[in-house]
Amino acid sequence: MPMPIMSSLLVLPLAAPFAFGVAAPGPDHSPSFDVTPSCRAAAEASGGHDRLEGCLASERGARDQLAKEWSQFPAASRSLCIRSASGGGEPTYTELLTCLEMDRDAKLAPADRKVGPAPIGTGLKPAVERARGH
């Protein structure tokens, strides 16, 4: 007997991580990715074994940072970013960490942000004039 549509929709989010080769994390554990295919493709595109080793080292660093900070990110952000990192091909820890950090930073209250309007007189025109020697 076919599964009702509503039941199918409830199962899909649970099955999605496995469809992309991602081990589903527990609430306190970051996911486990196989980043070798992604690093290998990046190395082939940019030329060389040294690039592969550098990519793998960078991914290990991102994985270690995720492991330390995982529980500090809200569950909704973790779920969103796992789907995002896994949706475009081979997932990477760097993509996941970047997504989580951007999501966190976007939710900061404006008073918490260090970005603000530039002081008067520091716009583009004075910079261009200095570059031209005026």
Residues counted in the chain: 134
Q: Of 68 and 88, which is predicted with more confidence?
A: 68
pLDDT bin (cut points 50, 70, 90) of residue 8 is very low
pLDDT of residue 82: 94
pLDDT of residue 104: 92
The DSSP annotation for 68-110 comes to: HHGGGS-HHHHHHHHHHHHHTSS--HHHHHHHHHHHHHHTS-G
pLDDT of residue 98: 95
* Average pLDDT of the chain, as a whole number: 75
Q: Please determine, for residue 123, whether its predicted confidence score (pLDDT) is greater than 60.
A: no
Q: Please determine, for residue 102, whether its predicted confidence score (pLDDT) is greater than 50.
A: yes
pLDDT of residue 109: 65
Task: Specify the residue for token string 């025109």.
Answer: 125
> pLDDT per residue over 29-75, tens digit each?
889 999 999 999 989 998 777 899 999 999 999 999 999 999 999 99
